[in-house]
Amino acid sequence: MQKLRRGWSPIIASRNRTRPNPAMPNKVQMGTSFEQNKAEPASGVPTRIEYGLTDDAWSGFDEYLKELVLATGSRTICELGAGANPALAPDFVQAHGLDYVILDISAEELAKAPPGYRIRVQDIAKPLTGVRGTYDFVFSKMLAEHVKDAEVFHRNIHALLRQGGTAFHFFPTLYAPPYAFNLLLPERLTHWLLSRMQAGRHDSGKNAKFPAYYHWCRGPTRAQLDRLESVGFRAVRYAGFFGHPGYYKKMPFAERIHRALASSLLRHPVPWLTSFAYAVLEKK
Ligand SMILES: C[S@@+](CC[C@H](N)C(=O)[O-])C[C@H]1O[C@@H](n2cnc3c(N)ncnc32)[C@H](O)[C@@H]1O
């Protein structure tokens, strides 16, 4: 990997391999960024790798998503695992003439979403039947960690996208301690613990807890980028975010220490220690 480059450049690594694409948005505040060794990944096009703080990933998500949709000129869009909380509002969809479908394995979760969305009930980790190559843009927020077979998941997304289409995922990453514990401890115990730590995490609400496996949920490690390449994607941009302060809301002192550690990781990034990631992928 190249030396760390401090600060922020508005130019995103080229999507057409010859010149930078200034249209790609760059709004999320991420303090440190670096590009990987130019020789990697296998496609020869460097992935733009950046780091930031988790608070910025959450507060910047909606804006970043909308900018990405517009900057890629996408019209046909599918959100996977949208459940109770579709990420694009109906007025944005209408204003830009988008064809937006929300998909989820659970009809019950989709029923909690506001009215006015086109819905599709489907398990995205099962081999796909029907529509293929139809979408310009497929994305997910807090879904990837819940999918048991990550390879089938990404292959299905690849099949759903048209050539050159964009996939975008926002997900928690190992080896952040809360997710490592969530993986290792029994589901009933983590369910109970989470309900104690965070208000509103009950099954009938809009932020229910689902079993998580964290397959292919890592920060911007070489192995993670290679896995995505192996199913036919090029990682255009991969952002790793440090910290998970939401788990310390009831422990202000622990939260302060945690935030200091996250800031220190931002100054000295370790891709295995991120807590969340954004992955922007292009179908090759
Ligand atoms: C943590 S919720 C996230 C919901 C929404 N994206 C959000 O950010 O609030 C995870 C969602 O993924 C759905 N889900 C889990 N496994 C799935 C699968 N294999 N295929 C499609 N949806 C799935 C769940 O039903 C649930 O609605």
| Higher local confidence (pLDDT), 4 or 110 | 110
Overall number of domains in the chain: 1
The pLDDT score that the predictor gives to residue 39 is 36
The mean pLDDT value for 152-167 works out to 97
CB 62 within 8 A of CB 70: no
The pLDDT score that the predictor gives to residue 253 is 93
| Higher local confidence (pLDDT), 37 or 256 | 256
Ligand 1 close to Cβ of residue 143 (< 6 A)? yes
Distance (Å, rounded) from C-alpha 64 to C-alpha 277? 13
Categorize the per-residue pLDDT at 207 as very low, low, confident or very high, splitting at 50, 70 and 90. confident
pLDDT at 67 over 60: yes
Distance (Å, rounded) from C-alpha 237 to C-alpha 131? 27
CB 176 within 8 A of CB 145: no
Q: Which domain holds residue 211?
A: 5-283
Q: Look at ligand 1, atom 27, and give the residue with the nearest C-alpha.
A: 83
Dig out the tokens for 246 from the structure.
């939401």
Q: Look at ligand 1, atom 9, and give the residue with the nearest C-alpha.
A: 85
CB 218 within 8 A of CB 241: no
Instruction: Tell me, in angstroms, the distance from the centre of ligand 1 to residue 181's CA.
Output: 20
Closest approach atom of ligand 1 to CA 83: 27
Q: Look at ligand 1, atom 10, and give the residue with the nearest C-alpha.
A: 143
Dig out the tokens for 228 from the structure.
């995505």
pLDDT tens per residue, range 86-118: 999 999 999 999 999 999 999 999 999 999 999
| Higher local confidence (pLDDT), 66 or 10 | 66
The mean pLDDT value for 132-140 works out to 94
Ligand 1 close to Cβ of residue 65 (< 6 A)? no
The CATH number of whichever domain residue 44 belongs to comes to 3.40.50.150
Q: Look at ligand 1, atom 15, and give the residue with the nearest C-alpha.
A: 146
